[in-house]
Structure 1
Amino acid sequence: MARNWIPIRGAQGVYSRQAHADMPPGTYEREVSKEGFFGPAAFLHHPRPPTGWTSFEGPLRPRAFDLARLNEAPGSPWSAPVVLHNAAVEMRFWKLATPMPALARNADGDQLMFVHEGAGDLFCDYGRIGYAAGDYLYLPRGTMWRLAP
């Protein structure tokens, strides 16, 4: 995570001198940041609360999945458990501790992977590409590839 940002402080209108404390009456705070809970953030105060959930109908609801409880899958991405899916997309959570023993290829669609933690190399038809936490790996349909963490 990069820490080479320049702190620039500014304030306009009605605001609190400290984030999350001494909120002006009738204001709602919203935090905006590129790095989540790390790095610089802007604290915006609004006269009305942000849009929130009011009700849910049907099977689609907000859910919290504890993906940390999943075990490591063998070297194949297709062995990773499917978390969510529909007719057009599958979302899997894959923990890979050792290099894949064989190449993989998705002949049905494009492949998009997000690296939550760790680093390694992607070997594919386009060469060797290094990756690290926070990277997206996009592979067009039919690309042969393997990962080596």
Structure 2
Amino acid sequence: MYLNKRGKAPNQAHVGIPEGLYEDEHGRDGFAGPVSHLYRTHPPTGWVQIDGALKPRAFVCTQVSITTTPSAATTPTLMMQSRDVRLYVRSSMETMAHFVRNADGDEVYFVHQGTGAFETDYGTLSYEPGDYVVIPKGTTYRTHVDAGPSLFLIVETPERILMPDRGPLGQHALFDKGVLVAPELGLVESAADQGLEWEVHIKRQGETTRVVYPFYPMDVVGWKGDLWVAKLNVRDFRPVTSPRYHLPPSVHATFQAGGCLISTFAPRPLESDPEALHVPFYHRNTDYDEVLFYHQGDFFSRAGIRPGMLTLHPQGIHHGPQPQAVQASKGKTHTSEVAVMIESKTPFTVRPEMEAAEIVDYALSWSR
């Protein structure tokens, strides 16, 4: 359809919104398809009651493993899943006694807490808070914990993890592939013991096969190729910004796997144009369920958010800043937040066990 316009609406989206009106973006294909902007007299999140499957939800991930899975030190806790992606949280206090291998899909570990190392087929890779560690499907590995607890958000995708096409921005935008860190070969000191048996637990279709070796399975002495375990820290992520226009969240896309998108919100300068919107605009997540994991900083688009929390906003229900955040943003020049967004083309189903870590009144917080 062709561009049309009716009533009281500015010519430029996200800029010069008339006083007392609220911009609501109605679009398709995330933020890349056809779109219109509706200018309302009330915030579209100003509801007083929500009943049904589309109710926004929030969870405290630091409580999940304590309240739901006593053995979470070695077994991740499944929080929610769709056909495109599964989300887990894992809390570890000590080094894993056995190795694991995921035959169901690629994994992206995001490190929220702790330091240590991933010991893999490709060598050893240290980790610290703010690290993404991408582990290809079929890789054998285990984690060593230096200073616990270590808390990981784990994204599992049946499709291969790729870097999105940057289009006109070029392949070096957001981060250059040169900043990716590869593992270093070499046995860890604890592996020097001979005569021990070692277990590898292989996951396939949610079931585990246990394989026992009479030798240390991390015996690779060399490798070459373009499929390997890689690490990216959020401090090496360079957000794309515009001084006169609030860019959509899609410009922060970090990884992609089929219908799953993983994006990074890192500290960045805000728009300097006094008429430009500073906070995320209201939208209804059409075509994608949206999950946000809050890692650190001041989450300026709304109050009540703490590091280690995770929110779910299903497609079809509105999402945006708290009204008071719009006013508060006008005096700010930078963001200080670090958050990870996971979007799914197909709807998420939340596991019943997550209710123990849920913030019950979160859905009503948008109108406060």
Shift of 1:108: 1.3
1:114 is the counterpart of 2:110: yes
Cα distance in 2 between the residues matched to 1:64 and 1:74: 21
So what's the TM-score if we normalise by structure 1?
A: 0.59
Letter in 1 for 2:87: M
Cα distance in 1 between the residues matched to 2:129 and 2:55: 29
Cα distance in 1 between the residues matched to 2:124 and 2:144: 10
Cα distance in 1 between the residues matched to 2:23 and 2:79: 29
- Equivalent of 1:98 in 86, 94, 98: 94
Shift of 1:122: 0.6
Shift of 1:91: 0.6
Shift of 1:75: 4.1
Cα distance in 2 between the residues matched to 1:128 and 1:65: 32
The equivalent of 2:58 in structure 1 is 64
Cα distance in 1 between the residues matched to 2:120 and 2:16: 48
8 A Cα contact 1:113 1:136, kept in partner:
yes
The equivalent of 1:73 in structure 2 is 71
8 A Cα contact 1:75 1:101, kept in partner:
no
Cα distance in 2 between the residues matched to 1:127 and 1:144: 10
**CA RMSD after TM alignment:** 2.8
Shift in alpha-carbon separation, 1:53–1:131, aligned structure 2, 3 A: farther
Cα distance in 2 between the residues matched to 1:50 and 1:118: 40
Deviations 1:49-94 (A, max 9, x none): 5657547896233211022222263443xx3221111223211111
The equivalent of 2:365 in structure 1 is none
8 A Cα contact 1:119 1:130, kept in partner:
yes
Shift in alpha-carbon separation, 1:62–1:125, aligned structure 2, 3 A: same
Letter in 2 for 1:63: R
Identity %: 30
Letter in 2 for 1:143: T
Shift in alpha-carbon separation, 1:53–1:133, aligned structure 2, 3 A: farther
Shift of 1:106: 0.6
Cα distance in 1 between the residues matched to 2:16 and 2:89: 37
Q: Which residues of 2 match residues 122-133 of structure 1 at below 5 A?
A: 122-133=118-129
Letter in 2 for 1:124: T
Cα distance in 1 between the residues matched to 2:92 and 2:51: 37
Choose between structure 1 and 2: higher helix proportion: 2
Cα distance in 2 between the residues matched to 1:68 and 1:107: 27
Letter in 2 for 1:127: G
Q: Which residues of 2 match residues 1-149 of structure 1 at below 5 A?
A: 47=17, 54=45, 59-70=53-64, 71=66, 73-76=71-74, 79-149=75-145
Shift of 1:126: 1.1
Letter in 2 for 1:133: P
Q: Secondary structure at the match of 1:64?
A: strand
